[in-house]
Chain A
Amino acid sequence: MAIREVLGLYRDLDSAVAAADALRDAGFSRSEFEVLSNAPYPEGTFGEESGIHRLFVFPLIGAACGFAAGLLITGGTQLSYPLLTGGKPLLSIPPMIIIMYEGTMLGALIFTVLGVLFESRLPWIGRALYDPRITQGYIGILVRTAPEREARAIEALRKANPEDILTESGNAGRQPARS
């Protein structure tokens, strides 16, 4: 079943929050609409949304990989080329620790960034309703719902004095075409 998108644009925070409430009253669950803004608002400003993420797993995995790589390179080098230098033991642990440490941190850093991108679903090349005005400071409320409920969504969005309402078929306008 196809999913239809409706994007309501709001000039200020109050009306955006009102729109979110209106949608909720109209029986849209929190997972059916998302809020687009040009800067973070305190979490929960628009009501609870599921904050579940696995971001904290990534650095740990990365650290493990980095550590292993460091161990392999340092240990491997010293074991496979038993060249004596400066009377140091052929398998000198302290230098290994330094490089393994760097490896660990490098792995952790890279995987964290990968994790951030993955958890925020970037890079994202799908197409969805969007409007440049959002980065100007407008707040967008994007409803994804079944075609038959699209009208209700538009109606709900209209309650909170939107700047504009965009649908896949084009601009639905702030007010009904004919009342």
Chain B
Amino acid sequence: MPRWGMVIDLDRCIGCGACVVACQAENNVPINTEDVYHQRRAIAWIRLERYWEGEYPNIKARYIPVPCMQCTNAPCEPVCPVYATYHTNEGINMQVYNRCIGTRYCAVNCHWHVRFFNFWEPKWPDSLKNQLNPDVTVRSRGVMEKCNFCVHRLVKAEQKAKTEKRSLRTDEVTTACAQACPTSAIVFGDLDDPNSAVSKLLAQAEQEGRVYRLLEDLGTDPKVYYLKKIDLEAAEHAATH
């Protein structure tokens, strides 16, 4: 039974936003038009947070991609009255759109702000109607949605493996964001498999002492790990996180 996790190396991240676009396309996330942005209701399962560091003129932009942390003890799960979000045995914090009634309590109790609510009926321009991903449900108005580590890919891969009567190969499957990242700053894989890319990366980064997680002290045990940037400002910047 794999335990899916993700490592995001901020030292490699250039803030290009490819992951965001890829996710958008992969998961049928509605197009975030300008006024949706101004309403602060844009949906981005993985978002790129930009923080300024230092004073003009020597000012630096720091980027940090934030997908769902897939917490092991996710605070968002138990507050749902209808089991619309629960924990799969592969460690994914799953969202069941059909059960969701939209109390939005999960969003209130998610401190990484990675749960998104469909305030409006999602719309696509006709030109994009045909590129919707058939593997992914199109959500309706009034339900929550969130990153689920491209679970449809995982399921597909597992079924393939099953039909071929074998177990899942190491790093056989990856998420859209990881796939799209030009600097491969995002790595996805099985945390329990010592040979997987994520495990190796973590093991190595542990020695360099670069590993940290967001809001780790809440004790929710997130499964998305960040590797600090290798320069001092970045170190202290990360420390503030």
Please tell me if the beta carbons of B86 and A87 are within 8 angstroms of each other in the complex.
no
Asked whether A127 is an interface residue with its Cβ less than 8 Å from the other chain, the reply is no
Most buried by B among A84, A86, A88: A86
Q: Chain A residues with Cβ under 8 A from B85's Cβ?
A: 85
Asked whether B78 is an interface residue with its Cβ less than 8 Å from the other chain, the reply is yes
Asked whether B150 is an interface residue with its Cβ less than 8 Å from the other chain, the reply is no
The interface size bin for chain B is 10 to 19
Interface of A is mostly: loop
How far, in whole Å, are A79 and B73 apart by their CA atoms in the complex? 20
In the complex, per-residue mask of A106-131: 1 if CB is within 8 Å of any chain B CB, else 0: 00000000000000000000000000
Q: Chain B residues with Cβ under 8 A from A88's Cβ?
A: 78
How far, in whole Å, are A84 and B72 apart by their CA atoms in the complex? 10
Which of these, A81, A83, A86, contacts B74 with CB under 8 Å? A86
How far, in whole Å, are A81 and B73 apart by their CA atoms in the complex? 18
Residues 74 to 132 of chain B near chain A (Cβ within 8 Å): 74-80, 83, 85-87, 89
Please tell me if the beta carbons of B78 and A83 are within 8 angstroms of each other in the complex.
no
Q: Chain A residues with Cβ under 8 A from B76's Cβ?
A: 86
How far, in whole Å, are A83 and B81 apart by their CA atoms in the complex? 13
Chain A residues with CB under 8 Å of chain B are 81, 83-88
Chain B residues with CB under 8 Å of chain A are 72-80, 83, 85-87, 89, 221
Q: In the A-B complex, list the 6 residue pairs whose CB atoms are closest, starting with the nearest.
A: A87-B73, A86-B78, A85-B77, A84-B87, A86-B77, A85-B78
